[in-house]
Amino acid sequence: MEKLAFIFPGQGSQYIGMGQALAREYSVVRRTFEEAGDLLGYDLAKICFEGSYSDMSDSSIVQPALLTTSISAYRVYMQEIGIQPDYTAGHSLGEYAALTVSGAITFKDTLQLVHRRGELTQRHIESGIGRMTIVDGVALEKVELECSSADPSGSRVSVSCLNAPEQTALSGENQTMDLVEMSLRNMGATITPLFRSAPFHHPLMAGVSEQFAESLQSIHFSRLRWPVISNVTGQPYSDEETAADLLKRQITHPVRWVDTMSFLSGQNISLTVEFGPKTVLSSLVKANIPSGITSFGFDTASDRQALNQYLSLQNSFI
């Protein structure tokens, strides 16, 4: 059997109605949303399935919603297919789902953590200090050069996500971001500012990181059933003891998704399955590794049908 990795998306992949189709078909999804709603104290399913755009823009809601959507999809997969991964990885918030399915942390504890993370993030957004922007069509080295030209210290703007060879994210202080975005547009980049965003994965989030560390102190992390890739290092967690520190650092350090993809490719991963809304990460797999890794989503019926057909075909050759 080929080597398999599970990947989990982060904030920005959400949409109104996410998880609803799976919930209609599978009782395990309905139970997962009920479990989350009971823990959070509100009807998370109703918000995800028929909420407003405002709901889907509030980090205190979106972060637990995305976690629950991803975990419920994973539970369907394990119930219906059950092939375990060789590695798991998640982009930003998705790293929490990757740790949860590995057994490092319970769903209950993870939900409480991401709810707190979302609350702290939302407060920072409302302060108006900084933002995040996606940059497409310009190589990382040129983006980094523009950032350092505008702000040599990196304290006002820097690359916050290394997503693919020609896709990065910038985070930083608003005025400096304006200057860098203008320069990159003149170079032919496509600039997509994220609506109601915080300067994720940047030193401007240091206050959030310190407050969040207090919540991490009360969490027990267990031994991982399989390796989980850290956003901070682009390498597997050395053990469960490093989890709290890496999750704290993730808030102020860049997401090294390019390194994550390179590591998985180097481990001869040939198949990824993305659990969560849309197929943002599956697209990034193809952007990073154009050949050699086959990617499937799990969000829609057609996604799941394609995955099942692929696995059936592979099994026929075993």
Which amino acid appears at position 225 of this protein? R
pLDDT value of position 139: 97
pLDDT value of position 316: 59
Cα–Cα nearest to 234, from 265, 205, 209: 265
pLDDT value of position 258: 98
| Total residue length of the chain | 318
State how far the Cα of 225 lies from the Cα of 147, in Å rounded to an integer.
Answer: 40
Burial, 142: exposed, middle or buried (Cβ in 10 Å; 0-12, 13-18, 19+)? middle
pLDDT value of position 1: 64
Residue 60: phi and psi, rounded to 5, are: -65, -20
Q: What is the mean pLDDT of residues 249-261?
A: 98
Q: What is the mean pLDDT of residues 127-141?
A: 97
| Tokens at 61, concatenated | 């809601």
User: Domains in the chain and their CATH numbers?
Assistant: 3-126+204-316 (3.40.366.10), 131-196 (3.30.70.250)
DSSP tag of 8 = E
Does residue 296 contact residue 77 with C-beta atoms inside 8 Å? no
Q: In the chain, pLDDT over 90 holds for what percent of residues?
A: 96
Residue 200 has pLDDT above 90, yes or no: yes
What is the number of H-type helices and E-type strands within the chain?
A: 13, 9
Q: What is the mean pLDDT of residues 257-268?
A: 98
pLDDT value of position 62: 97
Enclosing H/E stretch for 295: strand 294-297
Mean pLDDT rounded to a whole number for the chain? 96
Residue 318 has pLDDT above 50, yes or no: no
> What are the pLDDT digits (tens) for 108-127?
999 999 999 999 999 999 99
| Tokens at 14, concatenated | 């959400």
In angstroms, the Cα distances linking 200 to 16, 194, 203, 248, 289 are: 23, 11, 9, 12, 25
Of 59, 92, 282, 295, the active-site residue reads 92
> What are the pLDDT digits (tens) for 51-97?
999 999 999 999 999 999 999 999 999 999 999 999 999 999 999 99
Strand 157-164 to strand 87-90: parallel, antiparallel, or no bridges (unpaired)?
unpaired
Of 201, 202, 215, 295, the active-site residue reads 201
Residue-by-residue DSSP string for 33-81: HHHHHHHHTS-HHHHHHH--TTGGG-HHHHHHHHHHHHHHHHHHHHHHT
At residue 315 the predicted structure's pLDDT band, cuts being 50, 70 and 90, is confident
Based on the residue annotation, tell me whether 253 is a catalytic residue of this protein.
Answer: no
> What are the pLDDT digits (tens) for 29-51?
999 999 999 999 999 999 999 99
Residue 41: phi and psi, rounded to 5, are: 90, 15
Enclosing H/E stretch for 6: strand 3-8
Q: In the chain, pLDDT over 70 holds for what percent of residues?
A: 99
Straight-line distance from the first to the last Cα atom of the chain, in angstroms, rounded to the nearest whole number:
8
Based on the residue annotation, tell me whether 91 is a catalytic residue of this protein.
Answer: no
Q: What is the mean pLDDT of residues 155-171?
A: 97
At residue 196 the predicted structure's pLDDT band, cuts being 50, 70 and 90, is confident
State how far the Cα of 20 lies from the Cα of 48, in Å rounded to an integer.
Answer: 8
How many other β-carbons are positioned within 10 Å of the β-carbon of residue 203?
A: 18
